Structure 1
Amino acid sequence: MRAMRTWDIFCNVVDNYGDIGIAWRLARGLAREHGLAVRLWVNDLRTFQRIWPAISPDADQQVCEGVAVCAWHTPFAPTRPAQVVVEAFGCALPEPYLLAMSEQSPPPVWINLEYLSAEPWVAEHHGLPSPHPRLPLTKYFFFPGYTPGTGGLLAEADVAGRRTAFVHDGMPAFWRELGLDTPQADELRVSLFAYENPALPGLLDVWAADPHPVTCLVPEGRVIPQLAAWLAVPGLRAGDTGRRGALQLHVLPFMNQDWYDRLLWACDLNFVRGEDSCVRAQWAARPLVWQAYPQADNAHWDKVNALLTHYTAGLDRTTADAVNGLWQRWNGMPIAHGMPACWAAWRSRQAAIERHAQAWCGRLGLVGTLIDKLVEFAENKLK
C-alpha cells in the first residue's frame, strides 16, 4: 500500500482575499477528495479568518477541514519539505525551505500555480519547466484555464450536487437568514461584489429606473463608500438598507466562502471581481458580470475579452452582444453604448442568458477540474 502523499502549499496574502481563497479551496479539495496530507502555509492568518472564521489567527499550527494550517513566519523555521510543493501565484518560497528541497532525493515536485486567464497563450505555457538558476530544482508552471490543454478550473467534486440541493430546498431558509422575504415573481435579485468602479453610479441609476423591482445584495467591501455617496448618506455598514426608485440595496456582512457560494446560487445575476468569485459564479450556473482587477495601461481588458470569447461562443449574435456590452461597459472599455442601453439589451435577452449560464456550467465540467489535474500532473512527475 502506497504511503500518503504529502503536499505543501504556500500562500502570501496580498489583498482582496483572492489568493488565500483559492489556496484554501485547493488545500481542502486535495485533502478531502484525494486523501493527501496537506500543509497550507499562510503569512496572514487574520485575513484568512475573514473568509473562514474557524481559523485561529494566533496559532502557529492548527488542523482545519483535514488541512494542517501553518503560520508562515520570517525567519522560516527548518522544515522537512513535502513531496509536492505548490507556490501559489509566484509568492516566492522561503530560502531555507528551498535549500531543504534541494537536499531531498528525489527533490519535490515544485509547482508554481499561476493566476487564471482565458487568453490563448495559457495553453502554450502550461506545464513548462523552469530550472532554478542555482539549485538542482525545477519549477513547473501550472496554468488554470478554459481548454483541455490547461489546468482547468478550481471546483469541488460535489459542487453541482450541493448547488442543486440548495436551489431545490434551501433558498427560502437562506433568504430568512438574511432577513429578506422570498423574491416577488417579477423581482430581480443581484449580488454585487466589486472593486471601486466609475461605472457603478450609472448601473445603480438604471436599476433604480427599471420597470421591475431590483434588489441588490452587497457584502461589505470596497464599494460601500460609493454606494453611500450614491444614496447621499454619510456611510453604510452591514444591516443597512437604502432605496431609490425600483432599487432596494441591502448591505450584508462579509461572508465566509460557503455563505458566499449560497448567495451566488440564490441570486438571478452576480457581479463578481478578480479570480475566485468569478470562478464560483461560473459554477453557480447563474448569469454573471465579471470585473477584472484593474491593471496599468488597461491590460485587463484583454483578459475580459478573452473570457468573453470563450463564454459567448455558440450564442446568437443579439445575446452575445448583450453579454459583451454589459461586461465591457462595467470594465470601463470605450464602447459605443452607455449603461442604459447596455442594461436594456441585457434585460431583453435575460431568459437566453440564464439558459446559457446553465449550459456553460456543464461545458466547464468537460475541461476537468484544477484539483484533479494538479494531482495527475504531480503523480506523473513522482513516478
Structure 2
Amino acid sequence: MRRLIYDDDHEQFRLVVRRFIENEVVPQYADWEAAGAPPRSFYRRLGELGILGMRVPEAYGGAGVEDLRYSAVISEEAGRFGVTLGALRIHTDLVLPYLLQLATDEQKERWLPRYTTGECMAAIAITEPGAGSDVAALRTTARLEGDHYVLNGAKTFITGGFNAGLVLVVCRTSPATGGDRRRGLSILLVDASSPGFGVGRRIEKIGLHAQDTVELSFTDVRVPRAELLGEEGLAWEYLTRNLAKERLSIALGSYAAAAGAVEMTKAYVGEREVFGRQLSSFQNTKFVLAECWTQVLAAQALIDACLALDETDELTPADAAAAKLFCSEVQGTVIDKCLQLHGGYGYTREYPISRLYADARVTRIYGGTSEVMKSVISKAM
C-alpha cells in the first residue's frame, strides 16, 4: 500500500540509515548482545552521521528539523533487519522533547552540543522499585539546600543508563498536598559523573539483549539548582505531555518489528522445502502471511495517522495510547505466527525471528502497560 507521509528527503535519509545498519550494525550485533549494549563508539558514529542531531537546533550543532518522521524511518529500517539500536530511541525520542521544551538557554548550551555528537548520551529515570506504572508513588527525593538539591533514592528499569552522561531524574521536591500525590514532583538534570551517583546491576531480560537496562542509585547527590528542568513541582504535567510521544515511539517500533518479521518470513518460506515442496506453496502458509500482512497494514495506517497529527501538534494522549495498544498487540500476534512458519528453526538463535519474538513481549509493558493504555483511552471516551 502506497504511503503518503514521506517525501524525497525522508527516502534519501532511509537509504543512509539502511546502509549504516547493514554495514555497521548487523555484522557487530552478536557482540552487542553478548556485551549487553553497543559500545560508546556506536553513539559517536551516530553523531557523525547527524542522526542524533536531526531535531536539535542549528545553534547547538544539529540540523534543526523538528520532524518525527525521521525517527519513524530509523525504526522501520531497524525492524527490517531485526535489530535494536541500543538506547538511541530513548536519547532522541524520549529525552530530547523535554530538553527542547523546558531547558533554559544556559542548560541547552551546556548539554545539547555534547548530546548531538554522542559524547554525552541521555536517559530518563522515572520507574522505581515497587512503583512501576504508579509514577505518583515514587520515593526519590530532592531536598533544596542553598544553591543545590540533595538527591536520594533509587530507580530501576532505566534504559540507556549504563552509557548515559546525563539523566533526567523525576523526584519529589515537596510533599504531596491536598491528598494529590501528583503534586510536588520535579525533574532534575543529573550529571552521571556526580559523586553519589551509582549505576547498579544490569538487569537480565528475556529479550532486548543489545539494549542496556540498569538500576540507578542516588546517595546525597548534589545537583545545582540551575539544573532544575522547567518549574519545580510541575513534573507530572510535563510527563503527561511527553508520554504521548514516548508511546507513539514504542508503537512505531512495534509496527516496524512486525513488518520486518513478515518480510523475513516471506523470504524464509520461499527457500525452505518440506515434503518435497516449497513451504510458500502451501495454502496455510499463504493464508497466515496474508493475515499477518493485513494486520501490519492496519498498524501502518494508524501509525501514519498519528505521525500526521504529530506534525500539526494535534496528537492526543489517547491517540498515542491507542497506537501503542494496537501496534504492540499486532507485534505479538504477527511475530508469533511468523515464528510458527519457521518451525523448529524459529526457536533457535540461528534466525532473527527468535530475537524478534523475545524482544516483542516488553512492548505491552514498558512506556505504560496495555492496561494503562486502556485506562487512558476509556477516560478520553
Larger helix share, 1 or 2 = 2
Q: What TM-score comes out, normalization by structure 1 length?
A: 0.25
- Of structures 1 and 2, the one scoring higher in RCO (CA 8 A, sep 6+) is 2
Q: What TM-score comes out, normalization by structure 2 length?
A: 0.26
